[in-house]
Amino acid sequence: MGRQPCFEKSGLNRGPWTIEEDHKLMTFILSNGIQCWRTVPKLAGLHRCGKSCRLRWINSLRPDLKRGALTEAEEEMIIQLHSRLGNRWSKIAAHFPGRTDNEIKNHWNTRIKKKLQVLGSNHTSHTPLQQYEDCKVKKGGGTMKPESATEQGEIELELQGTQIDERFNYGFHEGRNMGPLEIQKADHTTTSFSEEMDKRPPEDFLQQWIDSPLPWEFFSNLKEDT
């Protein structure tokens, strides 16, 4: 059992890639393509294992990589997908052209996980997070009844609603023992949660997107809107 290492550990470079190594790898792949990763370093004149070359190419050198920090929309999408797929980063990354599984995994571990912890959400089970999702879905005209939520649920919803309000320009009314959930609008008037939600368009665009991934332009458009 167990496999032989993909390379002999002696005589091979490890650690951060140099500009020269990057250049060699990129030039080789762009002109020859990838047949077998194991042969790439030898043919490209690199003292790296094939596995290391593959990782470097996928995570850093691919021409189609999207640079820059993940957007709010992408972050929300990751939360959605993670609640459905768990830690299957490659599956999640497949929904984000130009993003890598490593990038998304790192982003999750360093930022989103903490963000959800601050919100009191269980990032593993997504227990309150489910309400977060329901809440967002409801903005698209879903069916959740905030009135029936537990007190704890209401509090979670309140916190999470506050997070969302920047995008929708309203926040939930402060206070713990709420009846029907109230929403405080940007102009400081209040309205009921369900009344406000009924004004939302009926299509559940978020769910539709998960079920049938949209092209990257979808996010570009979102970015332009903000």
Give the residue with the Cβ less far from DNA, 69 or 199: 69
3-state secondary structure of 191: strand
Region 4-23 residues binding DNA, contact defined as CB under 7 A: 4-6, 13-17
| CB-based burial label for 83 (10 Å; 0-12, 13-18, 19+) | middle
Q: How many residues of this chain interact with DNA, rule: CB under 7 A?
A: 40
Q: Which of 29, 60, 83, 164 binds DNA (CB under 7 A)?
A: 60
123: tokens are: 């990032």
Contact between 63 and DNA by CB under 7 A: the answer reads no
| CB-based burial label for 16 (10 Å; 0-12, 13-18, 19+) | exposed
Q: Which of 27, 32, 106, 221 binds DNA (CB under 7 A)?
A: 106
Q: Which of 73, 101, 200, 206 binds DNA (CB under 7 A)?
A: 101
**Sign, CA torsion 223/207/94/88:** positive
* Closest separation in Å from C-beta 80 to DNA: 16
Give the residue with the Cβ less far from DNA, 30 or 186: 30
Question: Among residues 206, 191, 68, which one has the least CA distance to residue 137?
Answer: 206
Contact between 32 and DNA by CB under 7 A: the answer reads no
**Which amino acid does the sequence have at 137?**
V
Contact between 112 and DNA by CB under 7 A: the answer reads no
* Closest separation in Å from C-beta 37 to DNA: 3
* Strands of the sheet with 182-185, listed across from one edge: 170-172, 182-185, 190-192
Whether the Cβ atoms of residue 44 and residue 25 lie closer than 8 Å to each other: yes
Q: Which of 32, 59, 150, 221 binds DNA (CB under 7 A)?
A: 59
Contact between 55 and DNA by CB under 7 A: the answer reads yes
Binding residues for DNA (CB under 7 A):
2-6, 13-17, 34-38, 48, 50-52, 54-56, 59-60, 69, 87-91, 101-103, 105-107, 109-111, 114
